[in-house]
Structure 1
Amino acid sequence: MMMSRIFVTGSTDGLGKAVAQALMQQGHDMVLHARHHGRIEAVDALLSQGAEIVTGDLADLSQTKAIAEHINRTGPVDVIIHNAGIISGKALFQVNVVAPWLLSVLIARPSRMIFLSSSMHFDGRIPDTNERWEKYISTVDYSDSKLLLTTLSFALARIWEDVVINAVDPGWVATKMGGVNAPDDFTKGIETQQWLATATDACALSSGGYWHYQKQREPHKETRNIAFQEALLRYLEKITGVKIQ
């Protein structure tokens, strides 16, 4: 296994912190992410072992762009794990979809990207044929956001053939978002991300997959719809002013 520099968003607690710890134990160089400076204390142990950290609120467009600038200034990353997410609120679309888009496009291209999806993406909606995207986005819920994020991952995998890009359903595990009564195995909730980030076997190096517990599953059929993918990309370019290269 080659050692990599790996950036994990939302890595001060939950699955993000756990996968960062596991990858660091394997010897990888970790770049952590905290929403603000008050969250840094939560990863003091990892920082004392050599991890780096960048702060910035993914709900804010300018702060998200600044995170990308910081990563590029401090050196290339080999892997990005788009782990950060929220379950509700006004910033839902910004955090769950726009921020991963910006970080993917603005950070110097790594060799691998992993997007944290959810089985709830199967309940997501796509815009009606005549529905304006602005109206659709104004009513986006968590399931919709994960449908859009999964669609984004497949769109980038299709366009960037030199990057291994996959979406992962980590299961419903006990985190701040999942709740204490979540029924799935927390350890299994990070294994697929860890494997896709580091493994060199043919399965891990395939791109454009939707994974659950290291097995490929069929995602929502609309995530493979190229017209839907392109409409999403054009909308993201429009609202961020950042174009895909």
Structure 2
Amino acid sequence: MKRIFITGSTDGLGLAAARTLMAEGHEVVLHARSMKRAAVLAELESQAAGVVIGDLSSADATKAVAEQVNKIGRMDAVIHNAGIYLERSRGTTPEGHARTLAVNTLAPYILTALIERPDRLIYLSSGMHRGGDGSLRDMDWIERRWEPSLAYSESKLYVTALTMALARRWPKVLSNAVDPGWVPTKMGGPGAPDDLEQGHLTQTWLAVSDDPAAKVSGGYWHHRQQGQPAPDALDRDFQDRLMDKLLESTGVALP
């Protein structure tokens, strides 16, 4: 039996992953953005190892989420599932960051740095990461005119590169990225053509399976098959420059 923390587990892929892992007998720590959102977890709360609350668009709230998780105990795996897609405007977090960058990239980085190190890390990427600008120029969209699709693509490029950097820096931790496909969640919309079940089962498989195929690090996965991420994500220089940018943006150092 494993203990797994899943961000963004009130709906979509995160909730599906939580249900699957609980049905398999694992301890699952759930996450909701607010107390109001946590209400939808009432039916699962009695089965869960805990529910933590915090809006990942806020750095302070994200740090509080990490603190809540650490109080529950060490996780065997963390699934960084939470994300936002195609925000109409840049938005502004309490720290002044673009919301897409804050939720999709900065929050996973902060949580990774502050949560007691697990055995396995799974990050949600997207095939759209291949369309991201790898220059690292104006990551926070201060100078550029806002482009929702490009901002999302870049945030997923960054989190994919973070996955690969961790696989290199933390050799005792299995760090993998998952492209769930365009699935019919609230984010993807009802007309999305991909398989929702395959999307979340890849996450759960990487989190707990003893299958030798799942016990690897630095993989980019789609429906339990390894693929090739964008070249920038695999480039060590890009990874190192990104990590410097993430430290600069958050003030949080990766152990």
Q: TM-score normalised by the shorter chain: which range applies? A: over 0.9
Matched, 1:231 2:229: no
Partner of 1:98: 106
Partner of 1:203: 213
Superposition pairs of residues 20-59 of structure 1, within 5 angstroms = 20-59=18-57
Counterparts of 2:172 and 2:28, CA distance in 1: 22
Q: 2:9 aligns with which of 11, 35, 51?
A: 11
Give how far 1:51 is off: 3.9
Matched, 1:120 2:120: no
Give how far 1:88 is off: 3.1
Give how far 1:137 is off: 8.6
Partner of 2:192: 182
Q: Which runs of 5+ in 1 are unaligned?
A: none
Amino acid of the residue matched to residue 115 of structure 2? I
Count of aligned pairs: 241
After superposition, give the CA deviation of every residue in 1:55-75 in whole Å (9 maximum; x if it has no partner).
000000000001111111221
Matched, 1:164 2:162: no
Q: Which runs of 5+ in 2 are unaligned?
A: 92-98
Matched, 1:63 2:71: no
Counterparts of 1:70 and 1:137, CA distance in 2: 36
**For the Cα contact (< 8 Å) 2:50–2:72, is it kept in 1?**
no
Percent identity between the aligned chains? 48
Matched, 1:79 2:77: yes
Tell me the SS of whatever aligns to 1:84. Answer: coil
Counterparts of 1:192 and 1:83, CA distance in 2: 12
Partner of 2:94: none
After superposition, give the CA deviation of every residue in 1:179-199 in whole Å (9 maximum; x if it has no partner).
010011111111111110111
After superposition, give the CA deviation of every residue in 1:202-245 in whole Å (9 maximum; x if it has no partner).
21111000000101001111101111101110111112111111
**For the Cα contact (< 8 Å) 1:72–1:108, is it kept in 2?**
yes
Counterparts of 1:137 and 1:237, CA distance in 2: 20
TM-score normalised per structure 1: 0.94
Distance 1:88 1:161, change over 3 A: same
Amino acid of the residue matched to residue 162 of structure 1? K
**For the Cα contact (< 8 Å) 1:79–1:111, is it kept in 2?**
yes
Counterparts of 1:48 and 1:189, CA distance in 2: 26
**For the Cα contact (< 8 Å) 2:85–2:152, is it kept in 1?**
yes
Counterparts of 1:134 and 1:116, CA distance in 2: 20
Q: 1:148 aligns with which of 158, 170, 175?
A: 158
Give how far 1:201 is off: 2.0
Tell me the SS of whatever aligns to 1:86. Answer: coil
Superposition pairs of residues 129-144 of structure 1, within 5 angstroms = 131=137, 141-144=151-154
Distance 1:38 1:201, change over 3 A: same
**For the Cα contact (< 8 Å) 1:5–1:29, is it kept in 2?**
yes
Distance 1:34 1:133, change over 3 A: closer
Distance 1:136 1:157, change over 3 A: farther
Amino acid of the residue matched to residue 231 of structure 2? K
TM-score normalised per structure 2: 0.91
Counterparts of 1:173 and 1:134, CA distance in 2: 27
